[in-house]
Amino acid sequence: MSLPSFATLPAPPYHVVTFASQRTDGDNGYGAMADAMLALAGQQPGFLGAESARDEAGFGITNSYWRDEESIRAWKQVVDHLAAQRRGRRDWYRHYAVRIGVIHRAYGFDRPETAAATDENAFEST
């Protein structure tokens, strides 16, 4: 799955679906399906963005961000997504956990390319 490092998100509140997983060995079509699901999610009403990382041992976390819980429930029922979920349980995952929550506050930091880091480079969305 090829994603930019950080999703560009609106000011809170918004919802997050955290999908933590331990992969089985081998790709077995996983990369192509992950890219297809990200593209499909991007077409769904209420989808705001996603961030994903996976280590060399196959443990990964993907956060997808949504406008509201109704958008999340609708995404869960998309036919191609349901098929990917079934294939994931059959072929790709040893274990996974899904957690859903509301982001009430978000903040971060951007280091300027040419300057030393200072607190002036911090930002917050409330």
Residues 95-104: what's their mean pLDDT? 98
Query: Does residue 83 lie within any of the structural domains?
Result: yes
Query: Does residue 6 lie within any of the structural domains?
Result: no
Query: Does residue 77 lie within any of the structural domains?
Result: yes
pTM for the full predicted model: 0.86
How far is 114 from 107, CA to CA, in rounded Å? Answer: 22
Query: Does residue 1 lie within any of the structural domains?
Result: no
Query: Does residue 52 lie within any of the structural domains?
Result: yes
Average pLDDT, the chain: 92
Query: Does residue 97 lie within any of the structural domains?
Result: yes
Query: Does residue 100 lie within any of the structural domains?
Result: yes
Query: Does residue 65 lie within any of the structural domains?
Result: yes
31-65 pLDDT, tens digit per residue, is 999 999 999 999 999 999 999 999 999 999 999 99
* Domain of residue 100, residue span: 14-125
We report the CATH number of the domain holding residue 22 as 3.30.70.100
Q: In this model, does residue 1 exceed pLDDT 90?
A: no
Band (113; pLDDT cuts 50, 70, 90): confident
Residue-level pLDDT at 110 = 85
The domain tally of the chain equals 1
For 50-76, give one letter per residue: b (16+ CB within 10 A) or e: bbbeeeeeeebebbbbbeeeebbebbe
How far is 78 from 58, CA to CA, in rounded Å? Answer: 26
